[in-house]
Structure 1
Amino acid sequence: MKQKQKDFLGKLAMAVTGMLIFSAGINFFIVPADLYNGGMLGISQLIRTLLVKYLHVFSGTTDIAGIINMLLNIPLCFIAWYYVSKSFFARTLICVISQTIFLSFLPIPSTPLVGDTLTASMIGGIIAGSGIGIALRAGGSSGGLDIIGMYFTKHFKNFSVGRISLCVNAVIYAICAVLFGVQTAIYCIIYSAVSTLMTDKAHTQNINTEVLIFTKNNPIKIMDYIVNAFNRDATWWEARGGYTEGKTFMVMAILSKYECAHLRRELRQIDEHAFIVEKDGIGIGGKYEKHL
């Protein structure tokens, strides 16, 4: 029990750290360059700009985009609670609250830290994307389109988190092009591309991995762990070793790279001599649910 609590607190600290890094990238580089994030935070930034620059309300030293983002996430958190999972809701809530605090209180430089917008968009993308990736690696989520994507992915076969994000971001950057000029929209797209690349490099949840486990005992226990811990199916069969011709067992499953890390740790407890083979980036057809 103590080890589980320690692991939970470690992941929680890692997720909050990821949100801190993400918020630093936004407040130190993206906001001073008058650029916009994608997703729900991008919508919040657009609302912030309309309120502050055009309606002349909420004009102060604190950026209210984080607060607006949290308000927009409140109804989405209920969707996460009822339609995704309670653990996903808890992780999302923690990340959204910490993100709101960091975005609200991290100081925004009065002048850009770098000389040109292109550099700001790339550095901001590297920092912000790395932060999101770290949070995802810890099992966290910044809410917003992640929740919407998970809901639609569960209920509609042809929907995916990436597709929804792409559509919403296209609308956000089209609005940026109309309100602030095409050049601003182009820099936002560059930032988004760099941020997405860094997120993919930093987290492992959406990398599909084929797993083959060779064990001389306990194939059923390994199967039970995969089914109960990850809500995945698996297949096992009896085989013969080519060198010793001794009896062995093979267990095969499709997991995310993130889930594989947990499986390797558990295998040390079930069968420390088990041999595991992983093949990343495989194509999958049929019924396979991505877990966030």
Structure 2
Amino acid sequence: MKKESETYKILMVIAGGFIFAAGVNLFIVPLNLYSGGVIGIAQIMRTIMIQYAHIPLPANFDVAGIINFLMNLPLFILAYRSISRKFFVKTLFCVIAQTLAFSLIFIPETPILDDVLASCLIGGIICGFGIGIALRSGGSGGGLDILGVYFTRKFANFSVGKLSIIVNAFVYLLCAFLFDVPTAIYSILYMTCFSLVLDRTHYQNINMTAMIFTKNQEIQEAIMKETGRGVTYWDGAGAYTKTQTRILVTVINKYEEHQIRRIVASFDPNAFVIFNEGPTVSGNFEKRL
């Protein structure tokens, strides 16, 4: 069962890579807009090769996918050595899927939608969903995703958002300098929509606390065994019934909420559970993909 689960996750990672690349090729590239991060740098390099270096490239073929893959090679080594083998394998599959899709998916000569803003929104939704399901499956889209996971594990106070802001600010300032300001502005709108959808799809990065009131002491052992999360408990009593109860508190990510609900319901269907979303957590708390 575990092997089937991992196979399913790899398939989802591959699907996420294809979906992301399809969104870029169909809605973003025809408008001459740019993604953020490493793929954005690859797209700018592609445009420089065509417009400034006048290197002849096949029509309707986006060489940015191949440039993106080459730029990710040292990051693959980082993922393998410093994060985990599973993360490395899934990320490799995702980036290969992106590269193939960037090369094979036909780029329309004219934009599918006449409205630039609508194209930014649709492209952002599709691309954000694609990378989101790749992250939910334990992989990533490469580039800043790898660096973000690495630095988050290495530095307790590191913010992935700060890294994205710094790199994307460089990318879009370069867009404004090399091309024009509207190109940079619409690209920023696309990336904003992309980021919002990504956060809604990949919700493992949202912290939650679960407070469980129960008389069954087996729940705490099941939570620790099945989720690997720590549990703190103390004894309390109902103010009305005066009966003794055990109060359990654990910190999880939003993706693990369903698992906690299932564990509690299997041991004590009458347990009272309170979930709080978005607490700030410091100390020995493991951030997971």
The TM-score with structure 2 as length reference comes to 0.89
Moved more, 235-244 or 56-65: 235-244
Aligned position for 1:234: 231
Q: Equivalent residue for 2:33?
A: 35
**Secondary structure of the structure 2 residue equivalent to 1:32:** helix
1:277 and 2:274 matched: yes
Q: Comparing 250-259 with 132-141, which one deviates more in the overlay?
A: 132-141
Counterpart AA for 1:96: V
RMSD after superposition: 2.3
Partner in structure 2 of residue 66 of structure 1: 65
Equivalent residue of 2:108, what SS? coil
The residue aligned with 2:145 is 146
Deviates more, 1:190-199 or 1:56-65: 56-65
Distance 1:58 1:225, change over 3 A: farther
Contact kept, 8 Å, 2:133 with 2:201, in 1: the verdict is yes
Matched to 1:221, the amino acid is: E
Could you tell me which runs of 5 or more consecutive residues in structure 2 were left unpaired when the two chains were aligned.
Answer: none
The separation in 2 between residues aligned to 1:262 and 1:18, in whole angstroms, is 24
CA contact (8 A) 1:176 1:185 kept: yes
Residues 1:221 and 2:218 aligned together: no
Determine whether 1:252 maps to 2:249: yes
The residue type equivalent to 1:33 in the other structure is L
SS in 2 for 1:31: helix
C-alpha distance in structure 2 between counterparts of 1:265 and 1:58, whole Å = 58
The whole-number CA distance in structure 2 between the counterparts of 1:56 and 1:115 is 28
Give 1:262 shift. Answer: 3.6
| Higher deviation after alignment, 104-113 or 8-17 | 8-17
Quote the sequence identity (%): 45
Pairs aligned (count): 286
Residues 281 and 268 from structure 1, CA distance in 2 versus in 1: closer, same or farther, beyond 3 angstroms?
Answer: same
CA contact (8 A) 1:219 1:249 kept: no
Is the aligned partner of 1:23 residue 2:21?
Answer: yes
Q: Distance in 2 between matches of 1:87 and 1:277?
A: 33
State the alpha-carbon separation in 2 of the partners of residues 254 and 267 from structure 1. Answer: 15
Deviates more, 1:15-24 or 1:161-170: 15-24
Q: Deviations over 1:194-251 (max 9, x none)?
A: 111111222211111011234413145235326xx44x43312333345654444332
Mapping 1:1-292, distance limit 5 Å = 2=1, 4-57=2-55, 59-61=57-59, 62-215=61-214, 216-225=216-225, 229-230=227-228, 232-242=229-239, 245-267=242-264, 271=267, 273=269, 275-292=272-289
Distance 2:132 2:5 in 1: 18
Partners of 1:96 and 1:142 within 8 A in 2 = yes
4+ residue runs over 6 A deviation: none
Q: 1:268 to 1:283 in 2, by over 3 A?
A: same
Secondary structure in 1 aligned to 2:168? helix
